[in-house]
Amino acid sequence: MNSSTSTTTSNASGNASGNALGDALASAPVVPVVVLEDASHAVPVANALLAGGLGIMEITLRTECAPDAIAAIAQSVPEVAIGAGTVLNGAQYRIATETGARFIVSPGLDEEVVRLAGDDGIPVYPGVATAGELQRAWNLGVRIVKFFPAGQAGGVPMLKALSAVFRDVQFIPTGGVSASNLGDYLSVPSVIACGGSWLTPGDAIASGDFDRIEGLAREAVGIAAKHRG
């Protein structure tokens, strides 16, 4: 199986992982991007997001506890579609999937990560910021990409420009997205979801203020409902 074919499969919703992810995004097209310093916070954060109406989350592999956090959520909160972010290479991909990640997100485009995910049937969303990067992803068979960093890369106008050329591509803008501009991004037809860290502030996690996280999730769900119906 070549990389183009397998990657197209990984981005489709025809397998179990893809269906679960699609269902989560359909209910609320917002993906919390979570940085954890302590794996013991993983399950409470997942439960708070779920109570607020978000059944999906991405834990970034920026900290040593991230694999343990992913495993804890996969085991204790299976109704949450848990993914791994900041996956930079094949070794990190293997760690993420072995600990229970159901989808993979990268800040950039790494062909090895895309190929491995395609071979395993795992949804993978590599990051792009330019037309050239998006063309490379498109030629690998990728049809859903992370647009990152969205704010610095041109925001909504850039998304509209890219969408006019790559008409079969969907985007997950991340980086500079917040409650104040979430509606603007979700109003772009090619945007399948938005990602953001504003939903899980580091100080709220550290202090155990999970009610605040639940409230931010509810606010995001409300914004999404207003703009997506």
Among all residues, which ones are annotated catalytic? Answer: 58, 146
Q: What DSSP state is assigned to residue 108?
A: S
Tell me which residue has tokens 């500079």. 176
**Number of other CB atoms surrounding residue 152 within 10 Å:** 11
Closest CA to 144 of 168, 161, 160, 121: 168
Alpha carbon distance 46, 132 (integer Å)? 36
- Are residues 166 and 134 in contact, defined by beta-carbon separation less than 8 angstroms? yes
Q: Residue 202 corresponds to which tokens in the numbers above?
A: 């580091």
CB neighbour list of residue 122: distance below 8 Å, 6 or more residues apart: 10, 17, 97, 101, 102, 103, 104
